[in-house]
Amino acid sequence: MSEYFLDTNIFMYAAGKPHEFKEPCISILSKVQSGELNAAIDTEVFQEILYRYHHINLSDKGVDLAWSMMDIGFDVLPVTKKVVEVSLYFYQQYQNKGISPRDIIHVATMMQNDIKKIVSVDRHFDIIEEVQRIDPSRLR
């Protein structure tokens, strides 16, 4: 069972231009690949990656990133009907606190798979009582 859930931004910063989060995110992905860190994502992470790169007219780069993600070695969790039901509950609870529907789906996936820690640069996860956000700089 996975101990951590990796938010989409971990992959985006690792693949992106120089930034304060680039090296910590690369380090996290290296630890997952080497087996030092047990992590998961859900299918929504792939959708977010492909959508973002499509939106900025870099579809080929998005596909390349998605393929390289497949080789890292984390669990890819499905977004099931139950996950959608749980996400609707969480969305009703957190919608007025600035949490996006996509991130709520991640939280619901985590809850359905007994994962309590999310690695993310997004501080809005700190609002969600059911999960603990870990800043990528702290897992280096």
Q: What percent of the chain has pLDDT over 70?
A: 99
Residue 140 has pLDDT above 90, yes or no: no
Q: Give me the chain's average pLDDT, please.
A: 95
User: What residues contact 69, with CB distance under 8 A and at least 6 apart?
Assistant: 11, 41, 45, 46, 49
Pinpoint the alpha helices (H) of 35-76.
43-55, 59-70
Identify each DSSP E strand in the chain by its residue range: 4-6, 39-42, 75-77, 117-119, 132-134
Residue 14 has pLDDT above 90, yes or no: yes
* pLDDT for residue 132: 97
Cβ proximity of 120 and 99 under 8 Å: no
Tens of pLDDT along 52-102? 999 999 999 999 999 999 999 899 999 999 999 999 999 999 988 989 999
